[in-house]
Chain A
């Protein structure tokens, strides 16, 4: 589903150049659940942003479903994002002025989906993350775990083939974190490809594969037990 070749990102601020990503080569197949780990500042978020077309690389190639997308225009990227990629962030990033329902509805609105189909889809997803009873609340009125579940709902409501999650459990206590992890695993079982940045070895163990990074480079990839299980299942 995703291949990168010598993907590079350099941040230039006045005098300092930070090479956040240095010639990264990796491949993620459709249906995989991949964890990205590494110390703070090693370029995990940068990588995710590039994969999600939120930022453009300085060099290298990025192929998404067979198409080279590294030099896509702003408009093309927006279009691809809205159809194919869902995001989940550590800090939830819900719009405070919109209710839960309205937040989750937003991607469908940008897709141009009309009611009642839209409404049906939203309720279905909210059901899945078990937040239906709070759908007319505003984000500030929810707990962190609830907010993150809404964020997951929003990421999957348009059924994107790929979900990128940047420390989705980073701001949650372990029980809330586990709930979110269960949600992601369930989505993956239903076929969604997921790339997740995490600091938690525990969470990482629940994925198929761990990519470890250091100083802007991928240093190794290890299969997890669940990978073995997944292979067995397949």
Chain B
């Protein structure tokens, strides 16, 4: 019996090559899209799953509420860890890692090798207890107990030592000597991009400082004992924090600590501040999953549509089989089987296509996903599951329709009564509407995302980030003689200006308090501090709103002047920029020996707001002042033309000052480019998969149009004989489909508008969804549909009418 079914299925496949091709191609493409997106989503879900007992590990972050908003701050005060350790026996192990500057690199030296390495952690020695990474050399026990020991990754070891056991060797990191105690295996699925770990003790932080409740600089993890209720512990800990923070001295923060399960760290922290881990975005993961399902649904609908449309051609066979005594069940089985056969072929193609495309996706997403059906039984099972689901989803309805044909009516020749003119094939039309709704929805989303991402890249940031070389000062000589260093740099004709300080756009900035006098009262305000020099404004191309910039000509500017930004004018309650001028301010000097010594001065100027952070965040209130003690970064503005000349000059001057450090630099605009990397990728992925969805949908439409044209051949022939023109016949055939596309657009638009409004809310600076997007999406979908359909219509309309009539 199955042999007979198979024969029929196979011969039908060959006989209706066009239909088979459309079905298989559509389904294979849909499955490929689904598989690729599925792999991506699966990979995103794998973070930290490899860690044994990871379900007992939590990251402690802090919801910090200010007047304006609540921020999730990943860095918490050192006392969080200490308090958990001392007060809560439920906590088995506590781990604190100190936050270091973004992209911070350390100079690693061994023998004659010198290289900058990223991903150095300074942490409590409990690191490998909380995160039991696999050791290749050495052992995790006591590996970090000694403040001069270091544990390195296998990749680090490979770069520095080559392929030998480095345990027991000494290396220099940032000019201090460390003993290698172990080598662990890097795991790309670990949320911390760790390259080497040293003991926090190396920093020799004062015990007093470690008792701070205000110094938010530590990533804190807790491994709980078995069976601990994390929620309960969180509640208890919150109460404890409230109790311990001295009401007299605590900062104006409202802390609300949260225990975040390790398995949520990667995907559920997209909006967290100061989080340096490898982060994904659950919204994007969900969106891509939905798109994957969309595309598969579109492909399945194609199948259902084409199969039901084509079913008339199978009607006679059904009639005959029923007459002979086939039961409905047997017929359903037969037609389901045929769908499964087609699906099987599609799955095979899809698997091949996926293997082919995966390397590109890997390169694009910087992942190492693998897709090997033969070595992974799980994957094979998944494909089998997919085959069954899609096969049944797509095949069930057509099978039902076919199996329900009445033998009497179909054998009479034709199905006039069940498919006469005037009868709308409701199901087929609904499915087309749904397919095109999804397509229009995706088109609108793709355009809006494109617009927003372009906006992010092109928005006027209030300063000029182009042609600025940017680097960290290295070596004592550079730090101590920064004035001469600057003068030397400026000697090149290719360099326009140089600024040294701490707090450049796109780079780390510091937040701290400032005192102002309000209604006779001294009040503390938290504000962003940008430590600048006289040339900061020239280097970045900022503009003044009121007053003047800091100047060498005013000797007091060095020690008694502040410039603030427009937002600060508002936040500090000065009213207008003009009124802000002359306001008194007081700043507790960093690193002062006397705790209460402050820098007193007045506001001499207001600078126009500029975006020193990403466009995800509103411009923070900022204060700009001269404070060479914080000097850290150098920005070099180049003068058009000769970039290479400028770079060579910088290298030469650097080597004069700090030959013991290799030169290292980047460009400021790159800092901004990477901020929107996730969004850039989303944009590209959306375009690709939207394109796929539309293509697959059109394949189906193409098939249906071909079918409709075929069915109406005789009608078209008669019309032509009666004098109808080609154009009127094309219109006749296309009108029906275009109507459906329009209905689809009407359904999709509000949904797309809603989804995109939601997405845009994550951005402090965003576009208004332009109305033309909706028009464009409809027109695009309409034009594509029209071209698809009219091709078939035109073919039908230009055939010789006599031929069509004779065939009947």
By a beta-carbon cutoff of 8 Å, the part of chain A in contact with chain B is 13, 49, 52, 54-55, 74-75, 78-79, 81-83, 87, 89, 91, 93-98, 102, 105-107, 109-112, 154
Could you show 6 A-B contacts with beta carbons less than 8 Å apart? A75-B328, A78-B328, A81-B323, A94-B320, A95-B316, A110-B325
A156 to chain B minimum Cβ distance, whole angstroms, is 12
- Whether A81 and B317, one on each chain, are in contact in the complex, defined by CB atoms closer than 8 angstroms, is no
Given known pairs A78-B328, A102-B4, the reply for A97 and B323 (CB within 8 Å) is no
Q: Is the CB of A82 within 8 A of B8?
A: no
Tell me if B691 is interfacial: C-beta within 8 Å of chain A. no
Q: Is the CB of A49 within 8 A of B326?
A: no
Contacting pair B326 A97 (CB below 8 A): no
Contact A97 B317 (CB under 8 A): yes
User: Does B321 belong to the interface (CB within 8 Å)?
Assistant: yes
Q: Which of A13, A81, A93 contacts B325 (CB 8 A)?
A: A81
Residues of chain B with a CB closer than 8 A to A78's CB: 322, 325-328
B328 touches A74 (CB 8 A): yes
CB-CB nearest in chain A for B329: A75
A48 CA / B436 CA spacing, docked (Å)? 47
On chain B, the residues within 8 Å of A49 by CB distance are 408
* B406 CB contacts on chain A under 8 angstroms: 54-55
Contact A154 B324, beta carbon cutoff 8 Å: yes
Chain A residues lying within 8 Å of B319, measured Cβ to Cβ, are 93
In the complex, the chain B residue whose C-beta lies closest to that of A85 is B325
List the 4 shortest-distance A-B pairs measured between CB atoms, nearest first. A82-B325, A81-B325, A78-B327, A97-B11
* Nearest residue, chain B, Cβ from A11: B417
Q: Which residues of B contact A83 (CB under 8 A)?
A: 325
B327 touches which of A79, A102, A109 (Cβ 8 Å):
A79
Inside 8 A of A95's CB, which chain B residues have their CB? 8, 316-317, 320-321
User: Could you say which residues of chain B place their CB within 8 Å of the CB of A13?
Assistant: 417
Which A residues lie within 8 Å of B328 (CB)?
74-75, 78
Q: Contact at B326–A82, with CB atoms within 8 Å?
A: yes
Tell me if B407 is interfacial: C-beta within 8 Å of chain A. Answer: yes
Do A110 and B408 touch across chains, with their CB atoms under 8 A apart? no
Residues in chain B near residue A102, CB distance under 8 A: 4, 7
Let me know if B317 and A89 touch, CB within 8 A: no
Do A109 and B323 touch (CB < 8 A)? Answer: no
- What CA separation (Å) do A105 and B411 show in the bound complex? 20
Q: Are B326 and A110 in contact (CB under 8 A)?
A: yes
Given the interface contacts A55-B408, A109-B4, does A97 sit within 8 Å of B12 by beta carbon? yes
Closest to B14 in A: A97
Q: Are B7 and A91 in contact (CB under 8 A)?
A: no
The CA-CA distance from A43 to B566 in the complex, in Å, is: 94
Contact check, B326 vs A98: say whether CB atoms are below 8 A apart: no
* B residues near A82, Cβ cutoff 8 Å: 324-326
* Distance, CA A79 to CA B15, complexed state (A): 31
Task: Tell me the chain B residues, 289-348 only, with Cβ under 8 Å from chain A.
Answer: 316-317, 319-330
Q: Within the assembled complex, what's the spacing in Å between the Cα atoms of A91 and B12?
A: 22
Structural contact, B325 and A107, CB atoms closer than 8 A: yes
Q: Check if B8 sits within 8 Å of A98, measured CB to CB.
A: yes
What residue of chain A has the Cβ atom nearest to residue B326's Cβ? A110
B11-A89 in contact (CB<8A)? no
Distance, CA A96 to CA B321, complexed state (A): 12
Q: Is the CB of B411 within 8 A of A93?
A: yes
Flag whether B1 is at the interface (Cβ < 8 A). yes
Verify A54–B1 contact, CB threshold 8 A.
no
- Interface 1/0 per residue, B679-691 and A, CB below 8 Å: 0000000000000
Q: In chain B, what residue has the closest Cβ to A46? A: B408
Whole-angstrom CA separation of A2 from B320 in the bound complex: 23
CB-CB under 8 A from A110, the residues of chain B are: 1, 321, 324-326, 330
Please give me the residue from chain B that is nearest to A89 by CB atom: B411
Contacts of B330 in A (CB 8 A): 110
With both beta carbons as reference points, the residue of chain A lying nearest to B11 in the complex is identified as A97
* CB pair A87 B323 closer than 8 Å: yes
B413 at the interface (CB under 8 A from A): yes
Query: Least Cβ distance of A53 to chain B in Å?
Result: 10
Question: Are A106 and B327 CB-contacts (below 8 A) given A97-B8, A98-B8?
Answer: no
**Cβ contacts under 8 Å, B417 to chain A:** 13
B316 adjacent to A93 (CB under 8 Å)? yes
Residues of A within 8 A of B4 (CB): 98, 102, 105-106, 109
B1-31 residues with Cβ-Cβ distance < 8 A to A are 1, 4, 7-8, 11-12, 15
A50, closest chain B residue (CB):
B408
Determine the residue in chain B with the shortest Cβ distance to A107: B324
- A54 and B323 contact, CB distance less than 8 A: yes
A93-B320, A95-B320, A98-B7 known, 5 other contacts, Cβ within 8 Å = A54-B322, A87-B324, A93-B323, A97-B11, A110-B1
Closest Cβ–Cβ distance, residue B414 to chain A (whole Å) = 11
With A54-B408, A93-B316 known as contacts, the answer to whether A81 contacts B8 (CB < 8 A) is no
Known contacts: A13-B417, A55-B408, A97-B12. The answer to whether A109 contacts B7 by CB under 8 A is no
| Minimum Cβ distance to chain B for residue A8 (Å) | 16
Q: Which residues of A contact B316 (CB under 8 A)?
A: 93, 95
Give A167 Cβ to nearest chain B Cβ, in Å: 12
Max chain A CB contacts within 10 Å: which of B15, B324, B326? B324
Q: How far is the CA of A97 from the CA of B6 in the complex (A)?
A: 11
Chain A positions within 8 Å of B407 at CB level: 54
Bound-complex Cα distance A112 to B325 (A):
12
Bound Cα distance from A29 to B336, whole angstroms: 42
Contacts of B411 in A (CB 8 A): 89, 91, 93
CB distance from A17 to the nearest CB of B (A): 15
Say how far B406's CB is from chain A's closest CB, in angstroms.
7
Query: Could you say which residues of chain B place their CB within 8 Å of the CB of A55?
Result: 406, 408
Residue of A with least CB distance to B313: A96
B14 CB, nearest partner CB in chain A, Å: 9
Min CB distance A43 to B, Å, is 13
B408-458: which have CB < 8 Å to A?
A: 408, 411, 413, 417
* Chain A residues within an 8 Å CB radius of B322: 54, 78, 81
Give A200 Cβ to nearest chain B Cβ, in Å.
21
Could you tell me the distance between the alpha carbons of A49 and B409 in the complex, rounded to whole angstroms? 10
Name the CB-closest residue of A to B318.
Answer: A95
Q: Which residue of A lies closest to B8 (CB)?
A: A97
Give A125 Cβ to nearest chain B Cβ, in Å: 14
Closest to A83 in B: B325
Are B321's CB and A106's CB within 8 A? yes
Tell me if B413 and A106 are in contact (CB < 8 A). no
CB nearest to B324 among chain A residues? A107
- Kindly provide the distance from the CB of B328 to the nearest chain A CB, expressed in whole angstroms: 6
Taking CB atoms, residues of chain B closer than 8 Å to A75 are 327-329
The docked-state distance in angstroms from the alpha carbon of A55 to that of B412 is 13
Interface residues of B in 516-536 (CB under 8 A from A): none
Residue of A nearest to B410 (CB): A93
The docked-state distance in angstroms from the alpha carbon of A89 to that of B411 is 9
Shortest beta-carbon distance from B793 to chain A in Å: 28
Residues of B within 8 A of A81 (CB): 322-325
With both beta carbons as reference points, the residue of chain A lying nearest to B330 in the complex is identified as A110
Chain B residue at smallest Cβ distance from A92: B320
Chain B residue, CB-CB nearest to A93: B320
Contact A109 B1 (CB under 8 A): yes
> Considering the chains assembled together, what is the distance between the CA atoms of A94 and B319 in angstroms?
10
- Name the residue on A nearest B323 (C-beta): A87
Give, as a whole number of angstroms, the nearest-CB distance from A52 to chain B: 8
- Interface residue ranges of B683-721 to A (CB < 8 Å): none
In the assembled complex, the CB of B324 is this many whole angstroms from the nearest CB of chain A, namely: 5
Chain B positions within 8 Å of A89 at CB level? 411
User: Which of B8, B321, B325 meets A79, CB within 8 Å?
Assistant: B325
Q: Which residues of A contact B1 (CB under 8 A)?
A: 109-110, 112
Whole-angstrom distance between the alpha carbons of A105 and B11 in the complex? 17
B317 contacts across to A, CB distance below 8 A: 95-97
Query: What sequence of 0s and 1s flags, for each residue 347-360 of chain B, a beta carbon within 8 Å of any chain A beta carbon?
Result: 00000000000000
How many Å lie between the Cα of A75 and that of B327 in the bound state? 6
